[in-house]
Amino acid sequence: MIEKKIFSLLILIVVKQAESLKYDPSWSSLDTRPLPKWYDDAKVGIFIHWGVFSVPAFRSEWFWWDWQGDKPTSDVVDFMKKNYPPNFQYADFGPDFKAEFFDPLQWVSLFNASGAKYVVLTSKHHEGYTLWPSAYSWNWNSNDVGPHRDLVDDLAQAIRKNSSLRFGLYHSLFEWFNPLYLSDKNQSFNTQIYVKEKVLPSLHEIVNKYEPEVVWSDGDWEAHDSYWNSTAFIAWLYNESPVKESVVVNDRWGSGVLCQHGDFYTCQDNFNPGKLLEHKWENCMPLDKNSWGFRRNLKLSDVLTIEEVIKSLAETVSCGGNILINIGPTKEGAIAPIFEERLRQMGEWLSINGEAIYESKPWKYQNDTKNSDVWYTSSGDIVYAILLKYPQETLKVELGSVQITEATQINILGNEEKLQWVESPEGGVVNTMQINDNTTFW
């Protein structure tokens, strides 16, 4: 009788353990996980590239590599020769990364006004400097060098206490000049000293400490995912981590993984396929056309116009994607007024047209068959036609993909008046717009 009880208990324990580990550390298993609903509903996020590269603030966030990498670029080399002494090292920029004007509440207020639903902060870029007091980045983190504060925690706390935004973290797997990484690289990645002593401990550290609901990986392409132990980490993330129910990951976890595995695909920077994809994807794009980090020599012509931002947003969501719009704060922690203006303009547009964006689904058509300036989304029986250019001269709008019936009602978001449409002889519908006091800019 006693033996039977012990045997039953053993079976129960084994079954319970098996039930808790739903996903194996293999892509075939991980790819079966359903996408958390919040991410598909959110549609719009803010990306933040911030680090020691914000101190020189020249050329891009790849400044260190462009200066001292395998193929230095002449403009960066000349910049350093003209402005800094011969013995100056990249680490010497660290103390100037003070973030003295960084007010996380101001940032959160702006993000709320932008209409975004989630935020992704660069916790560590390829330079290796961490924006949190990492136990695995001694004397190269925001507590030891620079602002002497936990920037990740400051922003995470401000977001969670003052908004409904979801908080996420970008994390670069590789570091350009880390000796441990270079040692593994010289061994053709047959050793994993860097991964075991730096990468995986750091990833577990930020997940356990800050509970990001987006883990946005990067810096993966030089080695296979087996070197990074990517599937083992993601299996832990899905099965056991404090964010196992809501976390999402991208597709940058090793060479060959891009656009193949992950909760959402990024495929490349500024990815915008212009067609409906079967798998969830994200268009990450900077407001500065030439850099993700802040540049002191930024020109107005380098910044996307609000019309360009809205166009990318509409195209992306129509084709089933999310859009992650990047800003680069200054070394002081300020957000440039031109970036603030773009985010607030986007928020104004979304305050009127957000019904066509948030929680929407792709329609049977993405781009109109006659009018290339129209992109569609849907919600239940409602179809939204996003018109990117207002017909200023003719006031005539023609839609080739829409077929109307007696029960069809058409109106403009932000305006309660119903529009009168007629069927086009060539198929579709035609309307002559009316401009009045109720017509909004958006």
Q: So what's the pLDDT on residue 421?
A: 79
pLDDT at 13: 45
Quickly count: other Cβ atoms within 10 Å of residue 77's Cβ.
13
Q: Does position 142 have pLDDT exceeding 70, yes or no?
A: yes
147 vs 329: CA distance, rounded Å: 14
Task: Check whether 85 has a pLDDT greater than 80.
Answer: yes
Tokens 């990645």 found at: 189
pLDDT of residue 442: 64
Does residue 420 surpass a pLDDT of 80?
no
Task: Note the pLDDT of residue 14.
Answer: 45
> How does pLDDT run across 93-115, given as a tens digit for each residue?
999 999 999 999 999 999 999 99
Averaged confidence pLDDT in the chain: 92
Distance, in Å, from the CA atom of 349 to the CA atom of 357, rounded to the nearest integer, reads 11
**DSSP structural state of residue 241:** S
User: By C-alpha distance, which of 22, 39, 44 is closest to 31?
Assistant: 22
Burial (CB < 10 A; 0-12, 13-18, 19+), residue 239, is: middle
Decide if 258 contacts 251 (C-beta within 8 A).
yes
Rounded CA gap, 103 and 409, in Å?
47
In the 8-state DSSP scheme, what is residue 265? B
Task: State residue 60's pLDDT score.
Answer: 98
State the pLDDT at residue 216. 98
Q: What is the pLDDT of residue 45?
A: 98
Length of the chain, in residues: 442
Determine the 3-state secondary structure of 274 from DSSP: coil
The pLDDT score that the predictor gives to residue 398 is: 85
Percent of the chain with pLDDT over 90: 83
Position 16 scores a pLDDT of 47
Report the SS3 class of residue 279. Answer: coil
pLDDT at residue 361 above 60?
yes
Beta carbons within 8 Å of 17's beta carbon, 6+ residues apart: none
Helix 337-353 with 306-318: angle, nearest 10 deg: 50
Q: What is the DSSP string of 92-161?
A: GGGGG---TT--HHHHHHHHHHHT-SEEEEEEE-TT--BSS--TTSTTSBTTTSSS-S-HHHHHHHHHHH
Q: How far apart are CA 265 and CA 29, in angstroms?
A: 17
What is residue 11's predicted lDDT score, i.e. its pLDDT? Answer: 44
Structure tokens at 416: 């309660």
Find out whether 375 and 367 touch, Cβ atoms under 8 Å. yes
What is the pLDDT averaged over residues 218-230?
98
Task: Give 2's pLDDT tier (boundaries 50, 70, 90).
Answer: very low
pLDDT on residue 433:
64
DSSP per-residue string spanning 333-351: SPPPHHHHHHHHHHHHHHH
Amino acid found at 31 = D
In this structure, are residues 119 and 165 in contact, taking their beta carbons and an 8 Å threshold?
yes
The pLDDT value recorded for residue 441 is 59
Q: Give φ, ψ of 81 to 5 degrees.
A: -65, -40
pLDDT digits over 116-134, tens only? Answer: 999 999 999 999 999 999 9
Computed on alpha carbons and rounded to an integer, the radius of gyration of the chain in Å comes to 25
Which residues have CB under 8 Å from 199's CB, separation 6+?
173, 228, 229
pLDDT at 7 over 60: no
pLDDT at residue 8 tops 50 = no
Between helix 104-114 and helix 337-353 the angle, nearest 10°, is 40
More confident residue, 425 or 289: 289
Is the pLDDT reported for residue 387 higher than 80?
yes
**Residue 1, pLDDT score:** 47
Asked if the model's pLDDT at residue 281 lies above 50, the reply is yes
Q: What is the mean pLDDT of residues 343-349?
A: 98
Distances (CA, A) of 194 to 163, 174, 214, 249: 37, 9, 23, 22
Q: How far apart are CA 228 and CA 172, in angstroms?
A: 11
In 61-116, which ranges are continuous DSSP H helix?
Answer: 63-68, 74-83, 104-114
Tell me what pLDDT residue 20 has.
53
Which pLDDT does position 277 carry in this prediction?
95
Predicted confidence at residue 200, as pLDDT, reads 98
